[in-house]
């Protein structure tokens, strides 16, 4: 068996040791004679799994006691609806649009109530630019009566990331879609009212969605559909119905792996090193590779880049697959190339990619 260097944007590579444990335990979890997939979500075995997963996640992110952790389903997309349904309570909310995902969140919320676009960084008059920058948060005109301010702190498609929690406004609760960089670095949870993330990047298999929410924001309204009611899920410890047990189990193994690796501060160092390697390879290519995002908000998780022509980009994807890489084709909406450098991608994988990129450019530049 040869494992490939997998740069997929999500579902994405998982730590190999996590997969090995999953494999070893697959038919017989901890000697109980059944797979963890096969046991009751309310029984003692799975209760042990989900309790450990929550405790480890709380430790990794230093989640304060007044925040609840929910293990839900439906991806970030279902949260685009659940958030306004739970938090608006007749008010408006401000949305910052910095890429495709925050735009979708804004549009979906608008189907529920007339929320407000605080700012969009899309270069509508220069569509080739697309989303390449952050707004100046200190210059934003925000509604002080808004129920919340919504952000996507890492735009998976456009590769735009907010690196500094401290730069964000603090006058209303911040709701953040952290799907593609949660657990890639420490986060000051207290700066946020609600954090949500689809699991399939740094957390675990797809199908699981994490929600971390400040308790005082909940319980002010009865939500329909009831499965989307955060307070009802809190009251039922994420078990209003059967949760996605296997994904929670694998996520729990990922959390253990992160603790063994040295926690999120160590992970952030590794991720900075990986991103520095890749952006250097792009910036030092004499214009053969180009990433348009402004330097202060280049994502350490998702790096989209272009080659001189679409033909060369297609050739790059083909050659990379032959050379043992996976998942480098850019998102269909923007084209080009994208390399996602989630936690499970080791430095060696990025070194291999950078070596491949330099070899590919040689003679073609």
Contact 134, 162 (CB under 8 A): yes
Does 97 contact a second copy by CB under 8 A? no
How many other CB atoms are found less than 10 A from the CB of residue 70? 19
Stretch near a second copy under the rule CB under 8 A, chosen from 39-47, 213-221, 286-294, 310-318: 39-47
Name which position in 47, 92, 206, 285 contacts a second copy (CB under 8 A): 206
Phi and psi torsions of 149, nearest 5°: -115, 125
Stretch near a second copy under the rule CB under 8 A, chosen from 52-60, 86-94, 201-209, 274-282: 201-209
Does 334 contact a second copy by CB under 8 A? no
Q: Is residue 177 flagged as an active site residue?
A: yes
Minimum Å gap between C-beta 324 and a second copy is 7
The Cα 235–Cα 357 span in angstroms is 51
Site for a second copy, residues 138 to 197, rule: CB under 8 A: none
| Number of residues engaging a second copy in binding (CB under 8 A) | 68
Query: Looking at beta carbons only, is 154 or 245 nearer to a second copy?
Result: 245
Give exposure, 114-132, as e/b (b: 16+ Cβ within 10 Å). Answer: ebeebbbbbeeeeeeebbb
Query: Looking at beta carbons only, is 74 or 308 nearer to a second copy?
Result: 74
How many other CB atoms are found less than 10 A from the CB of residue 348? 10
Contact 291, 282 (CB under 8 A): yes
Stretch near a second copy under the rule CB under 8 A, chosen from 6-14, 53-61, 272-280, 286-294: 6-14
Helix (H) / strand (E) containing 268: helix 263-283
Name which position in 30, 34, 269, 314 contacts a second copy (CB under 8 A): 34
Spatial CA neighbour of 253 closest among 26, 42, 76, 15: 15
Query: Looking at beta carbons only, is 121 or 245 nearer to a second copy?
Result: 245
Sign of CA dihedral 183, 272, 10, 302: positive
Name which position in 65, 128, 224, 265 contacts a second copy (CB under 8 A): 224
Helix axes 16-24, 245-261, angle to 10 degrees: 130
Contact 173, 217 (CB under 8 A): yes
With 0-12 / 13-18 / 19 or more C-beta atoms within 10 angstroms meaning exposed / middle / buried, residue 23 is exposed
Phi and psi torsions of 198, nearest 5°: -65, 145
Q: Is residue 284 flagged as an active site residue?
A: no
Query: Looking at beta carbons only, is 35 or 120 nearer to a second copy?
Result: 35
Minimum Å gap between C-beta 90 and a second copy is 17
Does 43 contact a second copy by CB under 8 A? yes
Phi and psi torsions of 177, nearest 5°: -80, 105
From 68, 103, 201, 329, the catalytic residue: 201
Site for a second copy, residues 274 to 313, rule: CB under 8 A: none
Catalytic residues: 101, 177, 201
Instruction: Name the site residues for a second copy (rule: CB under 8 A).
Output: 1-4, 6, 8-14, 16, 19-20, 22-23, 26-28, 32-35, 37-43, 73-78, 80-82, 85, 108, 111-112, 198, 200, 205-208, 224-228, 240-247, 250, 324, 326-327, 332
């Amino acid at each position: 068996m040869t494992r490939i260097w997998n740069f997929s944007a999500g579902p994405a590579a998982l730590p190999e040791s996590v997969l090995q444990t999953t494999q070893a335990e697959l038919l017989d979890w901890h000697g109980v004679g059944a797979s963890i997939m096969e046991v009751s979500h309310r029984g003692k075995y799975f209760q042990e799994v989900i309790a450990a997963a929550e405790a480890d996640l709380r430790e990794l992110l230093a989640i304060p006691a007044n925040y609840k952790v929910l293990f839900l389903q439906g991806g970030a997309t279902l949260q685009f609806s659940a958030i306004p349904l739970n938090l608006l309570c007749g008010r408006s909310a401000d949305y910052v649009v910095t890429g495709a995902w925050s735009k979708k969140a804004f549009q979906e919320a608008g189907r529920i109530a007339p929320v407000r676009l605080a700012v969009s960084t899309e270069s509508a008059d220069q569509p080739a630019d697309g989303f390449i920058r952050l707004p100046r948060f200190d210059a934003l005109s925000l509604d002080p009566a808004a129920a919340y301010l919504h952000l996507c702190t890492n735009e998976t498609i456009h590769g735009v990331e907010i690196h500094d929690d401290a730069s964000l406004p603090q006058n209303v609760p911040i709701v953040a879609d952290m799907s593609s960089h949660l657990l890639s670095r420490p986060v000051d949870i207290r700066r946020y009212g609600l954090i949500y993330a689809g699991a399939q990047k740094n957390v675990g298999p797809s199908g699981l969605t994490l929600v971390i929410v400040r308790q005082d924001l909940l319980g002010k309204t009865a939500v329909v559909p009831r499965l989307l009611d955060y307070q009802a899920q809190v009251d039922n410890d994420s078990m209003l119905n059967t949760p996605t047990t296997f994904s929670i189990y694998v996520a729990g193994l990922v959390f253990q792996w992160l603790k063994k690796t040295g926690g999120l501060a160590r992970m952030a160092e590794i991720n900075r090193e990986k991103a520095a390697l890749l952006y250097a390879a792009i910036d030092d290519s004499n214009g053969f590779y180009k990433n348009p995002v402004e330097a202060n908000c280049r994502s350490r998780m998702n790096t989209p880049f272009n080659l001189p022509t679409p033909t060369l980009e297609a050739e790059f994807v083909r050659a990379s697959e032959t050379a043992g890489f996976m998942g480098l084709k850019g998102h269909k909406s923007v084209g080009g190339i994208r390399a996602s450098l989630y936690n499970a991608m080791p430095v060696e994988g990025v070194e291999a990619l950078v070596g491949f990129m330099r070899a590919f450019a040689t003679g073609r530049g």
